[in-house]
Amino acid sequence: MCQSSRGALIVIEGLDRAGKSTQHARLCQNLESQGHRVNRMRFPDRTTSIGKSIDAYLKGESEQEDHVVHLLFSANRWEAATSIRAAIEEGITVVIDRYYYSGIVYSAAKGRKDLSLQWAREPEIGLPRPDICLYLDISTEEQAKRGGFGNEKYETSAMQERVRELFYKLQLLPDGQDIQVIDAGGNVAGVEKDIMERVEQMMADTRLAEDLRNIL
């Protein structure tokens, strides 16, 4: 049997209101109850000094030039990269709520010619690459049914619409090969089961016998 000892790197992505936080918590609990050691993370990590600048920007308390805030989001991942790698090498599975997929898509969704998907991706090169990215997909109608948005920067229907389109576009690009689309419009237990099946499949995969890859 070819069982690896490293942990897995699992990312949950999706639009606001898709149920990321709930599914993130359930996936972590399910993995722990199977005996895995798990580290929970989320980006942006608003607790670091870079994260505090991002938090102020998202809350509208400070302004940032679009490229600058993009690089802050990326730097917020880079400051965690060493600890992600260390945990995985130690055999701990790291489960992250949002990662560079959101980073690329939300910035590109601003629609600037000088902030393309391609440009937005560059600062992410070299970060640990997930073994799987579970993209929780919900329709615009379902998103509206789940209640209004909050007051943060990107929580408008126009922005969400562009983000949705770009998440689809990203799936057709090389980074999209790591993405598995989960229909998140159903009930919580059904979505949880779907996620668990995909994660178990991924963990059984021999790819985990190899070292964690980086984004190229």
CB of 187 to ligand 2DT, least distance (A): 22
Is the CB of 34 or the CB of 214 nearer to ligand 2DT? 214
Is the CB of 152 or the CB of 211 nearer to ligand 2DT? 152
Residues that bind Mg ion (CB under 5 A): 16
CB of 72 to Mg ion, least distance (A): 16
CB of 126 to ligand 2DT, least distance (A): 15
Own/partner pairs for 182-188, CB < 8 Å, 24+ apart?
182/134, 182/135, 182/136, 182/137, 183/137, 184/14, 184/18, 184/19, 184/23, 184/136, 184/137, 184/138, 185/137, 185/138, 185/139, 185/142, 188/19, 188/22, 188/23, 188/26
- The residue assigned the tokens 């993209």 is 135
Is the CB of 154 or the CB of 167 nearer to ligand 2DT? 154
Q: Which does 79 bind (CB under 5 to 8 A by kind): Mg ion, ligand 2DT, none?
A: none
Q: What is the full DSSP assignment across 110-132? A: T--TTS-HHHHHGGGTTSBPPSE
CB of 155 to Mg ion, least distance (A): 7
Q: Which does 106 bind (CB under 5 to 8 A by kind): Mg ion, ligand 2DT, none?
A: ligand 2DT
Q: What angle do CA 164, 78, 71 make, to 5 degrees?
A: 55
Q: Which does 57 bind (CB under 5 to 8 A by kind): Mg ion, ligand 2DT, none?
A: none
3-state SS class at 35? coil
Residues that bind ligand 2DT (CB under 6 A): 43-44, 58, 73, 98, 102-103, 106-107, 154
